Structure 1
Amino acid sequence: MVGRGLAVPAHVGDDLVEQRILEAYASAGPRAVVTGWAALRLHGGGFFDGLARDGRTRLPVPVAANGERLGSRDGRLAVRLTVPADEVVTIHGMRCAIPERALFDEMRRIGHVPEMAVAVGAACAAQLTSLRRMELYRSTRRWYRDVRVIARALEMSVEDCRSPQEDRFRMIWEYHAGWGRPLRNRSVLDLDGRLVAVPDLLDPARGVVGEYAGADHRDIDRHESDIAREAALRGVGLEYVEVVGRDLSHPDRVAQRMREAASRAGVLPRRWQLGPPTSPTLDEILDARAPSSDAQWLPPGPDPSHFTSLDGR
């Protein structure tokens, strides 16, 4: 039973995050609004998986009461917020905050500025919003609580990292090691214009690239490809720093590895050049999706066939 007069079939579990969101919303009332990470998930943000940083602890589904007499319960967090009508869209029958408002609420939930910036990057990686759109949203909601904290996080954010872990590596690179903002996912060419690689991070002045190796890199074919990629980058005069998930908890260790790579790179002849910047930009992609009017663009949510409605259909 998920609410008065509402139930799901006994065989339906809650392992699917969209099912958890649906059940949390079901008994919330007609004015309630799904927000935060849950709304971002429904908008198509795959990195918003409803789990805490440890990858195991489930986060409650944040639902803005919006005037309803709504209480928190197992799996649902009732948020005492009002989401205005112009910040609400409907996805698969659920009232959800638009991406900018959902991300704003998620950042407020997180509270830690660097991790707030990682959330911004995850939303941008999913092409839900952009830094320009978030800056505009923030500047036109100056009366909202925590606006100043959000501003600091946006200053730390980038929109072209491909995963939260890659973005956390970028934070160590930029802030802990003090190397400044690296180029992200920029193509490296040899002197004849042939593609060498597209590294996660690149400091062109120091001649160092950085790569985050996730779980998918453990596959033997992918590992062989990574070895060849590293050799190709060194062959044109770039030194290589690879980190895995455990390294991100030890920024001093990563920074020392970076310094060692920079010292090695200093004696290598440069046989590479930068490829052109990524095109189109994220804003150009989002602008192309937007209708000609000022109406809010609604990106596709998850396939509704993947979760079960409350009457079992």
Structure 2
Amino acid sequence: MPAGVSDDLVEQRILESFAGAGPTAVVTGWASLRLQGGGHFDGLGRDGKTRRPVPIAIDGGRVRSSGGRLVVRHTVPPDEVVVVHGIGCAKAERALFDEMRLRQHDPREMAVAADSAFAAQLTSHKRMRLYIATRRWYRDKRIVAGGLDLACEGSRSPQEGRLRILWEVDAGWGRPLVNREVYDEHGILVGIPDLLDPRRCVAGEYAGGDHRDPQVHQNDVARAAAFRRVGLEVVEVVGRDLRYRPLVIARMKEAEARAAMLPQTWVLGPPPSPTLDEILDARDGKGVIST
């Protein structure tokens, strides 16, 4: 490569790792999902700085792992390979399977990976279940299936998915509704909270770094007030809060207590339509999206 070409671009890193891995190389895991449109797969650790190595299946080749490449000793059969931008990549289901087993030390992060693939409309919960069921000979399939139990369609960011798992598992509130429309009694849209517990009348919102902007913060305050007017209390969480789960749980309980004192006039909007599976089936020529 010319000296002036930077590998700060994640796609460039993937290309360079693939180019030096031999003729049998197949990009898999997060890197394959990235090339297929998974924007949340940025190739960085949770700190947003540490580069993750590019996972490459070499199918018997002699290439070894290096600083920027992680060689995985799993064969990717030809029917699970797709060429993207001239790069051999594992298809979405296989790439997600490999990414989840690379994260098997943390079932929550396995679920976050699945959430991110669903958000990019690369695959669905149903499709992954079918994939695992038909790959009985694959190692780690039970571990991946366990991580998939925590996954959920509908999340719009990894941090939102982490908040959902905290809400569901640590707080014991069960699975919330994810990004569902909320209307007032006159049918006017109030907002679409990240998470919603319709029984406790509590909404959860993850505030990313862009929410520090004064205008965005002003909109957040107005949004929370609008939810409160129809009876919903909002729990807002930032990135650091996710490290201190008891703190978030305490806020949730306080919000539940406040919501119990408010008149409930909100109306839940309909489930999303078309469903993710309908979108994927239409894309693959297996169905037509109804309007």
TM-score, structure 1 normalization: 0.90
1:14 Cα offset (Å): 0.6
CA deviation map 1:166-209 (0-9, x unaligned):
01000111000000110110011001111001000001111110
- The equivalent residue for 1:11 is 4
Name the count of aligned residue pairs: 286
Alignment of 1:33 with 2:26, yes or no, is yes
The letter of the residue matching 1:124 is: F
SS at the partner of 1:143? coil
Partners of 2:56 and 2:232 in 1: how far apart?
Answer: 48
Partners of 1:286 and 1:168 in 2: how far apart?
Answer: 25
Partners of 1:158 and 1:21 in 2: how far apart?
Answer: 28
Partners of 2:124 and 2:2 in 1: how far apart?
Answer: 40
The two structures, once aligned, show a CA RMSD in angstroms of 1.0
The letter of the residue matching 1:107 is: M
SS at the partner of 1:158? coil
Runs of 4+ in 1 over 6 A off after TM superposition: none
SS at the partner of 1:116? helix
1:69 Cα offset (Å): 1.4
1:55 Cα offset (Å): 1.1
Change over 3 Å in CA distance of 1:9–1:152 after alignment to 2 = same
Alignment of 1:104 with 2:72, yes or no, is no
CA deviation map 1:150-180 (0-9, x unaligned):
1111111101011010010001110000001
Alignment of 1:258 with 2:245, yes or no, is no
Partners of 2:260 and 2:167 in 1: how far apart?
Answer: 18
TM-score, structure 2 normalization: 0.97
Partners of 2:63 and 2:4 in 1: how far apart?
Answer: 28
1:291 Cα offset (Å): 3.3
**Which of these residues, 132, 156, 161, is aligned with residue 162 of structure 1?**
156
- The equivalent residue for 1:176 is 170
- The equivalent residue for 1:145 is 139
Aligned pairs for 1:292-303 within 5 A: none
- Unaligned stretches of 5+ residues in structure 1: 1-7, 294-313
The letter of the residue matching 2:239 is: G
**Which of these residues, 126, 144, 159, is aligned with residue 132 of structure 1?**
126
1:73 Cα offset (Å): 1.6
Change over 3 Å in CA distance of 1:204–1:13 after alignment to 2 = same
**Which of these residues, 16, 25, 29, is aligned with residue 23 of structure 1?**
16
Partners of 2:269 and 2:126 in 1: how far apart?
Answer: 25
Partners of 2:203 and 2:27 in 1: how far apart?
Answer: 40
- The equivalent residue for 2:266 is 272
1:244 Cα offset (Å): 0.2
1:292 Cα offset (Å): 5.0
CA deviation map 1:53-75 (0-9, x unaligned):
11111111111011211111221
SS at the partner of 1:89? strand
Partners of 1:79 and 1:55 in 2: how far apart?
Answer: 24
The letter of the residue matching 2:151 is: S
**Which of these residues, 74, 86, 100, is aligned with residue 79 of structure 2?**
86
Partners of 1:73 and 1:273 in 2: how far apart?
Answer: 54
Percent of aligned pairs with the same amino acid:
64
